[in-house]
Amino acid sequence: MNYSEKLTHLRPQPSSKSPRSLLAETESDRGRIIQSAAIRRLQQKTQVYPLETNAAVRSRLTHSLEVQQTGRFLAQTILEKLSQENQLGTLGLTGKETVFTNIVEMSCLMHDVGNPPFGHFGEAAISSWIRAKATSCHLSAAGTPSKLFTDTLLPDLAVFEGNAQGLRIIHQLQNLNLTYSQLAALMKYTRPPYQKKPEPADSNYYRKKKPGFYYSETALVDDIQSHLKIKEGCRFPLVYIMEAADDISYCIADLEDAVDKGILSYRDLKYYLQSVWTEYAGSENTYLTNIIDLASSLSKQEPHRFIVKLRTQLVSDLVDYAADRYLQEHQAVFDGTLDEPLIDGDSDQHLALKTLKTIAIRHVFTSKEKETPELRGHSALMGLLDIYQPLLELETEAFTDIVFKDQEHHFLEQRLFHRLSVKQTAAYKRAVSAIDRKAFSLQEQKDLEWYYRARLLIDYISGMTDHFVMEEFQSLSAI
């Protein structure tokens, strides 16, 4: 194992700056990411509670900042353990400790940039709309589809996945030109939507249970794998750290927010923690019970400090466990073949996270405070997609005339097109202009144009904040 082959200063596009140190390049990545619009939009996107007005309740941005800090803590813990075992030099990590930590931190900050408005509910809404409308819209615009469209492009569009969209946003839409290492650290899953999902018994099921990139980013993924010596279907090693940091952070945060909103009382939370833990681990296993008792004893006079104590102890414990697992499975982690999370299913630590997730599913996610605004958001998302549907029904030549010549033959579609983001339309233009006319038949060229057109609409709608969806739907539907 040599991390020198995984940590690189190289980028997909040449940098305007003179060659700099690896540390300087990761600091440049940090600046590009933090100053990007994709990160800023997270402040008005749902974590759990859509359209939330209580500033103390987490948004996607505040959640991502917490994941960033947990990821930093976990990366530093791993490096400290490696240093204690005198392995940093052997692994090619001497002098690269800050680089290692920077890449982890920024992957944690970016891990949710692809999430649409209204979170997973928004993902489902976009996916269902595309599945219902894509075939008929494509037929109107491009005619009888080719095998490329039916076998690859349509299945690719039919599943909206926040992880895949995140890679697309960072590289194609925001055009941040991050280092290959930073891009690789963002990719949790290793298959495109059009590739068959493996069976649970397969050795690569966990890494491929969801799509990790779209057809539109296939060439980029091939490039990343080539530069970092990542085999097909395998992960970049630092992804495991980002994933663990996310698991640790959100499981505790969701319950804390539920208490802040009055959905759960402290008494309710303690009761559910005890009962669900016993359900999963049995009455003889006192791992989580001991942590609950300790947090309770330290917060008798100030009940609101119970979650603070619970979170502090659990984060410390889970980070230490995840770091040990990273080192125990180091070769599989480095190769990207470990097909489970660092906080694995056979451990007390995993059962603790499972307990927290179960309480949220049973007693938080089904609350009216969460479901009512989700239903409003669903109506607005589906309504907006219907409003913009004419763009997908327009014949290929007519749509490209609007995009590249701004001709006024189709007044409705032209006005709808003018509302789209400049960065997103620029990505569409680059993609369509890059279609190799010699490599594809005329029908395949039409299919590819329509595919990138559909991506353009998905990019626009999924990039909206929760509040902007509501405002835009009300504005365009004259409600």
Residue 53: predicted pLDDT:
66
Question: Domain residues of the chain, as ranges?
Answer: 3-115+163-228
Query: For each successive 10 residues of the chain (479 residues), what is the average pLDDT?
Result: 95 80 95 95 79 74 94 97 96 97 97 91 94 96 96 97 96 96 97 94 94 97 97 97 93 85 87 93 92 85 83 92 96 96 88 92 82 86 96 95 82 92 95 94 96 97 93 85
Tell me if 416 sits within 8 A of 427, measured CB to CB. no
Crossing angle of helices 368-393 and 442-462, in 10° steps, is 150
DSSP classification of residue 89: T
Contacts of 136 (CB under 8 A, 6+ apart): none
d(CA 108, CA 26): 14
Tell me if 169 sits within 8 A of 115, measured CB to CB. no
Q: What is the DSSP string of 215-278?
A: GGGHHHHHHHHHHHTPPTT---TTHHHHHHHHHHHHHHHHHHHHHHTTSS-HHHHHHHHHHHHH
Indicate the pTM of the whole model. 0.93
Tell me if 186 sits within 8 A of 166, measured CB to CB. yes
Residue 201: predicted pLDDT:
92
Catalytic residues: 63, 111-112, 246, 415
CATH number for 3-115+163-228 (one of 1.10.3210.10, 1.10.1740.10, 3.40.50.970, 1.10.30.50): it is: 1.10.3210.10
